[in-house]
Amino acid sequence: METTRKWRWGVNRWIVLGFIIFSIIAVNIATPVQPHIQVAPERITEGTLNLGPLGEVPFLNTFPTLLIVDLVIILLALAVRQAVKKGDLIPRGIAGAMESLIEVIYNLTESAAGKWTKQIFPWFATIMLVVLVTNMVKLLPGFETIGVMHHAEGEGHLISGLGGNWYTLLPDKVEGEGYVLTPFLRALSTDLNFTVALALISVVMTQVIGIRAQGPRYFSKFLNFTTMFKKPFFGFMDFLVGLLETISEFAKILSFAFRLFGNMFAGFVLMALISAMIPIFVPSMITMFEFFIGLIQAFVFGMLTMVFMAQATQGHGGEEEHH
């Protein structure tokens, strides 16, 4: 066993050394360039998309990413469906991994939601899977590095031809005559429209599940007048607590949206800066860090949705004990 371990460590050591040498050669061939960092997603073309009643919307570089994420999820579902059709008692590959993931998510939901597990579990699993795929897709090569070059309004980079209509940015910057890159693909989680949409779905469905579980009594936690006349002081305090509950529900939208957006956009900026300043091997470590951050953020978003939905099915204070 000791000899085997030494042999494995020796192989891993040479692999790491090979990556370092490859990084040094790659940096000398193509010097990394700090990309143009912009908070809002960029427009790929001047054209717009006609969404009928919703009107005209610009074609942003997060739209192709959304299509890729949808395609990955569909292919994943088809692969699992195909594996289930075979009738294997012990699923393997993608089916086995999905079974393990679903089992963990279901057990977590069951421990928190009890009899409401079947109503809450689909939302928990769906949101977590969508956010997870979204965060993992952004780690693919070509994201935020291949796109359309256009003249910079201020300071921009010089360009060098690669053949045909293909060009690469050079580290040298000029004022007024330089270029910046608008990538074809941008991480979906760095688009505030996406994170706000997920937050709205999560918060709205939390209210729906709360109404299903408690009926009209669910609204008493927002507008509580039951003790206003019997015990004026405590009734007034209950009324203020209800207002705070209402504010907290709206605050959840901001919390959900900006937590995911902030973490993933910070990761994008970190990757861009590290790749430009310390391009030798270090970006690979940052990519692994981004992988775990994306995984954790997907779990946190889904877990919080599940916890809030489980809380919405329960009464509050004396009402819960009385009913």
Domain boundaries, given as residue ranges, for the chain? 60-146+185-318, 147-183
pLDDT at site 3: 47
Phi then psi for 173, rounded to 5 degrees? Answer: -115, 145
How far is residue 3 from each of residues 23, 43, 232, 308, measured CA to CA in Å? Answer: 31, 57, 79, 53
pLDDT along the chain (323 residues), means of 10: 47 67 61 68 78 78 90 90 76 80 90 88 92 88 77 74 74 75 85 91 91 83 67 67 81 88 82 66 69 88 90 63 41
The tokens of 160 are what?
């060098």
Longest dimension (CA), the chain: 83
Q: How many CB atoms lie within 10 A of CB 146?
A: 12
Say if CB 60 and CB 42 are below 8 A apart: yes
pLDDT at site 280: 57
pLDDT at site 35: 64
pLDDT tens digit sequence for 177-232 = 777 778 888 888 888 889 999 999 999 999 999 888 888 887 777 776 666 666 66
pTM (predicted TM-score): 0.78
